[in-house]
Chain A
């Protein structure tokens, strides 16, 4: 436990300090959402209708933006070699890294959502529905994205490959995240899509670390 706690603390500390990735994601999220009303025009009803989808798209792209640093930095400075050699199972180390990444880069997106909801003319109920679905759904984005990050490291191809690999995997999360938000806003059944969203997250908690660890082990050089 000391080992995993140390890994989580280290990754969060690096992300929070100068040059870390924590703020980049939030800033990108902010830019995407702020630009949308300018592109769509001053139709408030349209903005309200599209709001949840815009917030979800922004959060998806923002979480993708910082994901390629997940293993690449450790690979480049040789830390990954030592993590692979260590006595902590690689699957747990991967899970700890993903958790740290979500705490540093995913959770701030959820926290920023209420503020950004104002820009899209969303009322309190809609905004909290979107924030709740993001809270349940962004871990799935991180944990499935981790598989792509591990593959990209071992194949020596950076960001573009990651996006190509990860985006198809995140489509179900996007569908059910937006569906759950819309259901809450329109007073429809919120439970079903939200349960599936939570299930996708739980599913990714199991699959992600094992798949990422297998990629890293297989692609060592």
Chain B
């Protein structure tokens, strides 16, 4: 499986953010997108996720399931964590597990894997920022998707959480998945760098 971007351009609000960007990531490989604030890291991830219209170039996943589009085979972990404060931790995760579809795993096991098994019945409104992030990460585990698009994934995570997430990312790469992560901090796994934006 190979994620291939050729000559990708992005225009936001009439301003060109980046243009002519080429990138490539194969199965088992992580791509770390690095650049200054406003250089278009999030925009690139949203382009890959199909959440932004591309201004030029092409992005394709080779060797994936042929009936599914690239966004349908990808997990997107953004700044906003897609959690409902009124629902409990388990309800939040169960909903995404049911809605996203595909090969799914037991929600409680996934919560255990991110260290949230003590808070299963707690409404998400009472979670701390780091716990919310852990719950979002549990969504990546609950449903299998080969492509992980991560936007500042380690934000708000404590050191233990960062190590735990690095382990989860290694497992995902070991199963033949691929990761594109926009980040300022080291990911804790071996990753190819993709620099965008000339100025830093």
Contacts and interface: CB of A to CB of B under 8 A. Distances in A.
Interface of A: 2-3, 5-7, 9-10, 13-14, 17-20, 76-79, 81-88, 220-221
B130 interface: no
Given A2-B101, A76-B80, A85 B71 contact: yes
Looking at chain B, what size class is its interface with the partner chain? 20 to 34
Contacts of A88: 99, 101
14 contacts: A7-B99, A14-B87, A19-B86, A20-B86, A77-B84, A78-B80, A81-B80, A82-B76, A82-B96, A84-B51, A85-B72, A85-B76, A87-B101, A221-B52
A10 B76 contact: no
A127 B101 CA distance: 45
**7 closest Cβ pairs, A-B complex:** A78-B80, A6-B98, A85-B71, A78-B82, A17-B86, A79-B82, A3-B99
A77 B51 contact: no
B98 A5 contact: yes
A13 B79 CA distance: 25
B68 to A, nearest CB: 7
B91 A83 contact: no
Contacts of A3: 98-101
A77 B82 contact: yes
A78 B95 contact: no
A82 B142 CA distance: 14
A78 B52 contact: no
Given A6-B95, A220-B51, A220-B52, A87 B102 contact: yes
A194 to B, nearest CB: 37
B111 interface: no
A74 to B, nearest CB: 8
Interface in B139-180: none
B50 A85 contact: yes
A10 B49 contact: no
A13 B91 contact: yes
B53 interface: yes
A88 B98 CA distance: 11
A3 B72 CA distance: 14
A147 to B, nearest CB: 21
Contacts of A18: 86
A79 B100 CA distance: 11
A78 B98 contact: no
B112 to A, nearest CB: 22
B87 to A, nearest CB: 7
A19 B84 CA distance: 11
B78 interface: yes
A220 B46 CA distance: 10
B81 interface: yes
Contacts of A5: 98
A78 to B, nearest CB: 3
Contacts of B102: 87
Contacts of A6: 94-95, 98-99
Contacts of A78: 78-82
B26 interface: no
A14 B76 CA distance: 23
Contact of A77 (B46, B71, B81, B101): B81
